[in-house]
Chains A and B, each alone.
Chain A
Amino acid sequence: MAVKLKLKNDDDCYGWPIISLHWLMAVAVFGLYFLGLYIIDMSYYDPNYKTLPHWHRSLGMIMLFALGLRLLCRCVDRAPRALPGHGHATRLLTKTAHALLYLLMLTALLSGYVMSSADGHAVAVFNWFSVPALPIEMHHQADRAGMLHYWSSTALIALSCLHALAALKHHFIDKDSTLTRILGIKRETP
């Protein structure tokens, strides 16, 4: 075993941009979700009533940019080959699950942005810069986007857990390189 980090994906392994974006988002997805649940339950007199939502929005916007970058990487670079041990059904399931993960991330992040930018409010990112609101406006935009934000995030967490369990199953039961290649570890005998 050896850690080999390359810029581009190859047949057997992912390149470092995709690897780092993958793990960054893994942390962000779970972190933002539980931060979001905590925010919902905060009382008006909580000292963090204003700061935590500000951080949640800021990190969400940064993740939206990171997702854009990741989708760009996926477009310009090929994915590693499917593992020989994976049958037709496994490949189809994998592709569907990955596509859904991207779709749910995009939905959760965009709905969060649309909710926060309702009434034409720009969304501030850590007092660093702000993202202007979309030029369109919907009736009860914050409420509708809020519902979508909650349910897409919850579905994303459920699917992410399944995704992690599947990776562990491949690693410990099937003993293939599904998990190692997103860690940048190349096995001498694949």
Chain B
Amino acid sequence: MNTHLIKSLALGALLAASPVYAAEYVIDTEGAHASILFRVNHLGFSWVTGRLEKFSGSFNYDAADPNSSSVTITIDAASVNTNQAERDKHLRSSEFLDVSTYPEITFVSTSYKTNGDGSGVLKGDLSLHGVTKPVTIDVTRVGEGDDPWGGYRAGFEGTAELKLKEFGIDYNLGPMAETIYMDFNIEGVRQ
């Protein structure tokens, strides 16, 4: 075998291994067709909801090979908004997110396992308040296909459940507020 043949075979093997529709999607934050919301229970009476306004990210997804999916998201911690200026000030302070020391919240996926019905289990590392912990998110594909403007989009939703104490945020808001739920609505435009 000459080197040319070896190169051809190697290239062919590579093409066969790579998914046909493998594509990178950029999360559509510009058009605000993606959002990161969170909920914390207030003393057992109600829910305080908020948003993390500024974030960016991308994901790799292929319907033919969903288990190879991956996602990376970077959030500007200072963009926390619960529609109450003085509470948001408190959340940005050193008693909570400490945004001057830890300006970014990041999520980097480590694995995705499809359930075979458009949903799946996404595992990844969440870095929050300078602490990185593995989290598991149940993900559902909302839809994918051509958009009306010549692009191709795919969108997912999922909720992460985490305890602030595990990320070193130990302000006592009461037993009902120990768990925080982060709701991700992620729509991406295929590149």
The chain A residues found within 8 Å of chain B, CB to CB, are: 43-45, 115-116, 118-119, 121, 140-143, 146
Contact A121–B85 (Cβ < 8 Å): yes
Contact B85–A142 (Cβ < 8 Å): yes
- Contact partner of A118 (CB less than 8 A), chosen from B86, B171, B172, B173, is B86
Contact A116–B86 (Cβ < 8 Å): yes
Residues of chain B contacted by A146 (CB below 8 angstroms): 89
11 A-B pairs whose Cβ atoms sit less than 8 Å apart in the complex: A44-B171, A44-B172, A44-B173, A45-B174, A116-B86, A119-B84, A119-B85, A121-B85, A140-B78, A140-B89, A143-B92
Contact B92–A44 (Cβ < 8 Å): no
Whole-angstrom distance from the CB of A140 to the nearest CB of chain B? 7
Contact B172–A119 (Cβ < 8 Å): no
Provide the bound-state CA to CA distance between A45 and B176, in Å: 13
Answer whether residue B83 sits at the interface, using C-beta atoms and an 8 A cutoff.
yes
Whole-angstrom distance from the CB of B132 to the nearest CB of chain A? 26
Residues of chain A contacted by B171 (CB below 8 angstroms): 44
Answer whether residue B98 sits at the interface, using C-beta atoms and an 8 A cutoff.
no
B83-98 interface (Cβ within 8 A of A): 83-86, 88-89, 92
Residues of chain B contacted by A44 (CB below 8 angstroms): 171-174
Provide the bound-state CA to CA distance between A45 and B177, in Å: 13
Starting from the known contacts A43-B172, A142-B89, 13 additional A-B residue pairs (CB-CB under 8 Å) come to: A44-B173, A45-B174, A115-B86, A118-B86, A118-B89, A119-B83, A119-B84, A119-B85, A121-B85, A140-B89, A140-B92, A142-B86, A143-B92
B159-191 interface (Cβ within 8 A of A): 171-174
7 closest residue pairs by CB, A with B: A118-B85, A119-B85, A142-B89, A142-B85, A143-B89, A142-B86, A44-B173
Residues of chain B contacted by A143 (CB below 8 angstroms): 89, 92
Q: Which of A45, A116, A143, A146 has the largest number of chain B CB atoms within 10 A?
A: A143
Whole-angstrom distance from the CB of A50 to the nearest CB of chain B? 12
Whole-angstrom distance from the CB of B51 to the nearest CB of chain A? 14
Residue of B nearest to A146 (CB): B89
Residues of chain A contacted by B174 (CB below 8 angstroms): 44-45
Residue of B nearest to A116 (CB): B86
Residues of chain B contacted by A121 (CB below 8 angstroms): 85
Residue of A nearest to B93 (CB): A143
